Amino acid sequence: MDGIRFASPYALALLVIVPALAVYLRRGRARSPGLAFSSVAVAAGMPRSWRIRLEPALTVLRLVAIALLVVAIARPQRGEAGSESSGEGIDIVLAFDASSSMSLPFARNRTRFDAAKEVLARFVQARTDDRVGLVIFQGASLTMSPLTTDYGAVEQDIAAADRLHLKDGTAIGVAIGESVNLLRGSTAASRIVILLTDGENNALEMQPLAAARIAEKLGVRVYTIGVVSRALNPGQSTLNVDEQSLREIAAVTGATYNRAEDPAALQQVYDDIDRLETSRFEGREFTRFNEIAPWFLAAAALVLALELALRQTLFRRLA
């Protein structure tokens, strides 16, 4: 939305000079006749020339020039304010644990793999202008898709995640490092990694917290999700993930950790992250102000020049 503001609004108080000066000049004009006559009766019946009728306009021009100068001193600015759109400018890397434990049951007739692939596919389908990348990891990591808006291709890579043959294990630190590397050259306003795992780091190449520190320095938020299967006994679960480590990773980068104990909870986690990032990005308001005081200065100079030119030409008084 466009609007006008004044950088020095108190300067507008000088505008009181304009009416005061108008009154002063009017009274001065009434007290100072142009020529001295013993009697004006002889000129009473003479018509007033157009110069005499229009001469007060010169005073008006002078007052207008002063008013424009005062407005220019107050530094008027035109502002353009708004907020970024919710989709434009977000780069997302999905880091997906493809270790053998993901083939364990997660719900009736569904494995952790099945549920995760379905949720990730829905998350990608919901994108509009975001770029999405995909990193699959086991005991090592592999970039399946660089940042792209070809969501169909990303969905195909997600569907093929459980058919990869990497060495088994859970290289969380390596996966974070590779995900952050995909975002290193990104100029997007928001850059995030969403890491899903059902285990704890057992690779020595890079420690998860060290990778999180790198992400922090680059301004990348790392959301972490722990997939935990419910146990047979109510209120219990098979906890194989290192939740403390995942919380630290998220906290260091300004993100959150969430536990998912069933497919519905997993879907809710991704929905919550989507809303959080959308609201965070929609809150990025911007305001630009362009100085328009020079236009008022130019107008004041033009009006003053016109007034002086008229006084020296059409309204010039003969000595």
Q: Are strands 285-291 and 90-97 parallel, antiparallel or unpaired?
A: unpaired
How confident is the model at residue 312, as a pLDDT? 83
Residue 166 φ then ψ, to 5°: -95, 165
**At 136, which helix (H) or strand (E)?**
strand 131-137
Distance of CA 40 to the CA centre of its chain: 74
Residue-wise pLDDT for 59-91, tens only, equals: 888 889 899 999 999 888 887 655 444 445 689
Average pLDDT of the segment spanning 125-136: 93
Residue carrying structure tokens 């880091």: 95
pLDDT band at 121 (very low <50, low <70, confident <90, very high): very high
Contact indicator for 263, 287 with CB cutoff of 8 Å? no
Find how far residue 132's CA is from the centre of its chain.
Answer: 20
Which residues make Cβ contacts (< 8 Å) with residue 278, sequence separation at least 6?
86, 87
Q: Which of 33-37, 46-50, 78-82, 192-196 has the highest mean pLDDT?
A: 192-196
Confidence of residue 281 (pLDDT cuts 50, 70, 90): low
pLDDT at 252: 96
Give me the domains of the chain, ranges plus CATH numbers. 2-32+49-81+287-312 (no CATH), 90-283 (3.40.50.410)
Closest CA to 282 of 144, 149, 190: 190
Mean pLDDT (the chain) is 84
16-31 pLDDT, tens digit per residue, is: 988 888 888 777 665 5
Residues 6+ away with beta carbon under 8 Å from 138: 97, 98, 99, 100, 164, 166, 167, 168, 169, 170, 171
CA distance 259 to 167: 26
The pTM of the full predicted model, rounded to 2 decimals, is 0.62
Q: Which amino acid is at 289?
A: F
Residue 7 pLDDT = 85
Listed in sequence order, the residues at least 6 apart from 235 whose beta carbon sits closer than 8 Å to its beta carbon are none
User: Does 46 have pLDDT greater than 90?
Assistant: no
Contacts of 35 (CB under 8 A, 6+ apart): none
Range of weakest confidence among 1-10, 143-152, 153-162, 185-194: 1-10
* Pair 294, 75: CB distance under 8 Å: no
Statement: residue 168 has pLDDT above 80:
yes
